[in-house]
Amino acid sequence: MTAAALGALALVCAVGAWRFTTARWTYRAPRTAILLWQAVGITWGLATTGALLAYALQPYERGVLGGLGAFAASAATGGYGPRDAYDLPHILAFIAGVSLLAVLITVTAAAAVQTIRARRRHRALLALISRDDPEVPGVRVVDHPGAAAYCLPGLRSQVVISAGALRLLSPDELAAVLAHESAHVRERHDLVLLPFSALRRVLPWSAVVRDTQAMVELLIEMAADDRARRFCSPRRLATALLRFGTAEPVPTPHGALGAIGGSHTGVMLRVQRLVTPGPALPRRIRALALTLAVSLAVSAPLLWLLPH
Amino acid sequence: MKGLGELERSIMDILWAQQAPATAREVGKHIADRDLAPTTVMTVLDRLTRKGFLHRTRDGRAWRYQPAASRDAYIAELMLEALDLTGDRSAALTRFAKAVSGDEADILRKALTELEEE
Q: Do B86 and A260 touch (CB under 8 A)?
A: no
pTM tops 0.90: no
Spatial distance between the Cα atoms of A241 and A76, rounded to a whole number of angstroms = 61
Q: What average pLDDT does range A114-121 have in this prediction?
A: 88
What is the three-class DSSP state of B83? Answer: coil
Q: Which residues pair with A135 in a beta bridge?
A: none
Smallest CA–CA distance, residue B105 to chain A, in Å, is 5
Spatial distance between the Cα atoms of B100 and B110, rounded to a whole number of angstroms = 14
Q: Across the interface, which of A118, A129, A177 has its CB nearest the CB of B91? A: A118
Per-residue model confidence (pLDDT) at position A255: 40
Is the confidence at residue A155, as pLDDT, over 90?
no
- The band of B56, judged by pLDDT with boundaries at 50, 70 and 90, is very high
* The amino acid at B60: G
Residues A183-223 have pLDDT tens digits of 998 988 988 988 888 888 888 888 888 889 889 999 999 99
Smallest CA–CA distance, residue B58 to chain A, in Å, is 25
Nearest residue of A to residue B4, measured between CA atoms: A127
Residue A172 · residue B115 · CB < 8 Å:
no
Q: What is the DSSP letter of A131?
A: B
Is the confidence at residue A96, as pLDDT, over 80?
yes
- The band of B42, judged by pLDDT with boundaries at 50, 70 and 90, is very high
Q: What average pLDDT does range A302-308 have in this prediction?
A: 86
Nearest residue of A to residue B14, measured between CA atoms: A128
Task: Please provide the average confidence, as pLDDT, over all residues in chain B.
Answer: 85
Higher pLDDT, A113 or B100: A113
Q: Across the interface, which of A127, A252, A263 has its CB nearest the CB of B85? A: A252
Percent of chain A exceeding pLDDT 70 equals: 93
In B, which residues are within 8 Å of A142 by CB distance?
Answer: 75, 78-79, 82
Instruction: Name the A residues in 111-140 with CB < 8 Å from any B CB.
Output: 114-115, 117-119, 121-122, 124-129
Task: Detail the DSSP E strand segments found in chain B.
Answer: 22-23, 54-59, 62-67, 94-95
Q: Are strands A140-142 and B94-95 parallel, antiparallel or unpaired?
A: unpaired
Task: Please provide the average confidence, as pLDDT, over all residues in chain A.
Answer: 88
Q: What is the CA radius of gyration of chain A?
A: 24
* The amino acid at B77: E
Per-residue model confidence (pLDDT) at position A261: 43
Q: Do A118 and B9 touch (CB under 8 A)?
A: no
Residue in A140, A137, A139 with CA at minimum distance from that of residue A128? A140
Instruction: Name the A residues in 90-109 with CB < 8 Å from any B CB.
Output: none
Smallest CA–CA distance, residue B32 to chain A, in Å, is 18
Nearest residue of A to residue B115, measured between CA atoms: A239
Spatial distance between the Cα atoms of B66 and A85, rounded to a whole number of angstroms = 65
Spatial distance between the Cα atoms of B18 and B31, rounded to a whole number of angstroms = 13
Per-residue model confidence (pLDDT) at position B34: 67
Spatial distance between the Cα atoms of A50 and B33, rounded to a whole number of angstroms = 64
Lowest mean pLDDT among A166-170, A269-273, A294-298, B30-34: B30-34
Q: Do B91 and A152 touch (CB under 8 A)?
A: yes
Q: What average pLDDT does range B60-67 have in this prediction?
A: 92
Per-residue model confidence (pLDDT) at position B117: 80
Q: Which segment, A5-9, A71-75, B5-9, is predicted with the most confidence on average?
A: A5-9
Is the confidence at residue A84, as pLDDT, over 50?
yes
Residue B77 touches chain A, beta carbons under 8 Å? yes
Spatial distance between the Cα atoms of A274 and A128, rounded to a whole number of angstroms = 37
Is the confidence at residue A167, as pLDDT, over 70?
yes
Q: What average pLDDT does range B31-51 have in this prediction?
A: 87
Is the confidence at residue A254, as pLDDT, over 60?
no
Domains, chain B, ordered by start: 4-67 (1.10.10.10), 71-117 (no CATH)
Contacts of B36 (CB under 8 A, 6+ apart): B1, B7, B28
Smallest CA–CA distance, residue A80 to chain B, in Å, is 47
Residue B83 touches chain A, beta carbons under 8 Å? yes
- What sign does the dihedral B11-B12-B14-B15 (CA atoms) show? positive
Q: Which residues pair with B66 in a beta bridge?
A: B55
Q: Are strands A140-142 and A158-162 parallel, antiparallel or unpaired?
A: parallel
Q: What average pLDDT does range A80-101 have in this prediction?
A: 86
- The band of A78, judged by pLDDT with boundaries at 50, 70 and 90, is confident
Report the complex ipTM: 0.85
Q: Which residues pair with A140 in a beta bridge?
A: A160
Q: Do B79 and A249 touch (CB under 8 A)?
A: no
Residue in B41, B17, B46 with CA at minimum distance from that of residue B31? B41
Residue B108 touches chain A, beta carbons under 8 Å? yes
Per-residue model confidence (pLDDT) at position A249: 63
Q: What is the CA radius of gyration of chain B?
A: 21
Q: Across the interface, which of A115, A142, A181 has its CB nearest the CB of B78? A: A142
Residue B47 · residue B56 · CB < 8 Å:
no
Spatial distance between the Cα atoms of A76 and A70, rounded to a whole number of angstroms = 10
Per-residue model confidence (pLDDT) at position A256: 39
Residue B32 touches chain A, beta carbons under 8 Å? no
Spatial distance between the Cα atoms of B33 and B30, rounded to a whole number of angstroms = 9
Spatial distance between the Cα atoms of A45 and A300, rounded to a whole number of angstroms = 9
Length of chain A as a residue count: 308
Is the confidence at residue A250, as pLDDT, over 80?
no
Residues B80-95 have pLDDT tens digits of 888 776 655 566 677 7
Contacts of A224 (CB under 8 A, 6+ apart): A180, A181, A183, A184, A187, A189, B94
Residue A253 · residue B76 · CB < 8 Å:
yes
The DSSP H or E segment spanning A159 is strand A158-162
In B, which residues are within 8 Å of A271 by CB distance?
Answer: 111, 115
Q: Do B99 and A247 touch (CB under 8 A)?
A: yes
Q: Do B85 and A256 touch (CB under 8 A)?
A: yes
Residue B50 touches chain A, beta carbons under 8 Å? no
> B13: exposed, middle or buried (C-beta count within 10 Å: 0-12, 13-18, 19+)?
middle
Extents of the domains making up chain A = 2-77+84-248+264-303
Is the confidence at residue A62, as pLDDT, over 90?
no
CB pairs under 8 A between A and B: 170
What is the three-class DSSP state of A29? Answer: coil
> B58: exposed, middle or buried (C-beta count within 10 Å: 0-12, 13-18, 19+)?
exposed
Per-residue model confidence (pLDDT) at position A258: 37
Per-residue model confidence (pLDDT) at position B87: 55
Q: Which residues pair with A158 in a beta bridge?
A: A152
Residue A160 · residue A142 · CB < 8 Å:
yes
